[in-house]
Amino acid sequence: MFEPFLHWKEYFANCPFWPEHADLNKLTLQRNQQVLTQSEKQICFVPQGMGKKSLEQNYESRIYLTGQVQTRTENWHDFFNALVWHIFPRAKSALNQLHYQAQLFELLNKNKRRCALRDAATLFDESGVIVVSSEKILTQLLSDFEWKELFWRQRKTVLSSMRFFVFGHGLFEKALNPYVGMTGKGIIFIVKETFFAQTLLNQLHSIDSILESFLLQALSSSSDLTPVPLLGYPGWIEDNNSELYYDNKKYFRDRHKSDQAS
């Protein structure tokens, strides 16, 4: 689950204390590329500000307008958010733009309730999972909540032709102490078989580009996201090496009739 971060293991191991803002900002040098917002501002991690006095000072608006990401130190939630900015920069910038535009729309129209798009953006930002597969039958099983067929009977095919990439920084925080019940909100992409022959960094780069386009062009509400029981993926927890693990209906739930109708 944390594999996308492993190439930074040595870098953070050399930090004598909890990583500071300067340490997070230096990660761009590790990848030799800039991390930019959709407004072409360079991302920079800064201390958390006080209060929300104006639109420009709101968290997402400040990122869009200045590139400054308010980040608390010694905080796993914000730490993982910073790392996700570095591995999925284009997708994170797309989500930020959705937030900014939605907040602006709500302000101009004096809406007291958050719009459906902003709710979906928040949900994916916190709990998102990117599901890629070269086999449509696997993605169909996932969409149909056929968990045991997918994760147990099709186990070998899942390992060779399907992969989950955690996106939500809230999920990464939960994964520090994983528990049965951990569920992500997934976006599914069909890829060619050659995708799985790429290096991990190239896979992440490809996903970032595909996800950016989806978020900006297709995401409209939380109904576009599908539930993904993360600890069902083969090997992500030792317990799922047993067939009985997938009989837990409190975790691997059947699809509701309302979902089937839609």
Q: What pairing do the DSSP bridges indicate for beta strands 128-133 and 183-190?
A: parallel
Short-list 146, 124, 142, CA closest to 132? 142
pLDDT tens digit at each of 262 positions of the chain: 999 999 898 888 888 899 999 999 998 877 767 899 999 999 999 998 765 555 556 899 999 999 999 999 999 999 999 999 999 999 999 999 999 998 887 777 776 677 899 999 999 999 999 999 999 999 999 999 999 999 999 999 999 999 999 999 999 999 999 999 999 999 999 999 999 999 999 999 999 999 999 999 999 999 999 999 999 999 999 999 999 999 999 999 998 765 544 4
- Cα separation, 31 vs 90, whole angstroms: 14
Q: Roughly what angle, to the nearest 10 degrees, separates helices 59-66 and 89-108?
A: 120
Short-list 36, 2, 4, CA closest to 230? 2
Instruction: Answer yes or no: are the C-beta atoms of 120 and 220 closer than 8 Å.
Output: yes
Instruction: Answer yes or no: are the C-beta atoms of 141 and 183 closer than 8 Å.
Output: no
Q: Tokens 């790392």 — which residue?
A: 83
pTM of the complete model: 0.93
